[in-house]
Amino acid sequence: KILVAAVQSPHTTTAMADDRLDGVYLNLAQQAGSIEPLLDSFFGFLLRKTDFYTGIADEKEAEKMVMKYFSKYSKQGKKKREDEAEKNRLADEERKRRAAEKRKKEEEEFNRRQGELKSQPKIEEVVDEEPKITEVVDEPMPAADEADKPAEDKKR
């Protein structure tokens, strides 16, 4: 068995234990900055504080143990990714369906208004044709120079 100085039961895998350590792991991950330094730090911890590397007869057993838990969580991660992808796909379909419904309603409303406008009487400006002259005046029009003379001169 591998001895771990800080943990009494290394096989505790209940959700409560995982949740209990999440704060510690989150703090470590934030300090490490990314996954690779976090893993490097963890395996360094196993070297310095446990017999993970020194207490085993076969390195393949240690690698097998690491891969066992990697595979376990990798499968869960894959399922979570697939579930998220399906959730996103369904949400996209719903958004598209709502957008199509909205577009259809807007088109129906537009067509309804267009129909109303066509059925309403149109307001048009009525322009009278030029007035027709129906009276004929028999008197000749005065010449231009006679029109300028005062009325008294015309009588003479």
Burial 137-149 (b: 16+ CB within 10 A, else e): eeeeeeeeeeeee
DSSP 14: -
Q: How far apart are CA 117 and CA 111, in angstroms?
A: 10
Residue 33: both structure tokens together: 């900055």
The residues pairing with 50 across neighbouring beta strands, listed in sequence order, are: 4
Residue 60 burial class via C-beta count within 10 angstroms: exposed 0-12, middle 13-18, buried 19 and up: exposed
**pLDDT, mean of each 10-residue run, the chain (156 residues):** 45 62 90 93 92 84 90 90 94 94 93 82 70 64 61 55
Please tell me the predicted confidence (pLDDT) of residue 134: 65
Query: pTM for the whole thing?
Result: 0.46
Instruction: Tell me the C-alpha to C-alpha distance, in Å, between residue 62 and each of 1, 7, 50, 51, 130.
Output: 11, 18, 13, 11, 109
* H runs (alpha helix) in the chain: 15-32, 35-49, 59-119, 144-147, 151-155
Q: Please, what is the angle between helix 35-49 and helix 15-32, to 10°?
A: 110
Q: Which residues contact 151 (CB under 8 A, 6 or more apart)?
A: none
Q: How far apart are CA 96 and CA 16, in angstroms?
A: 41
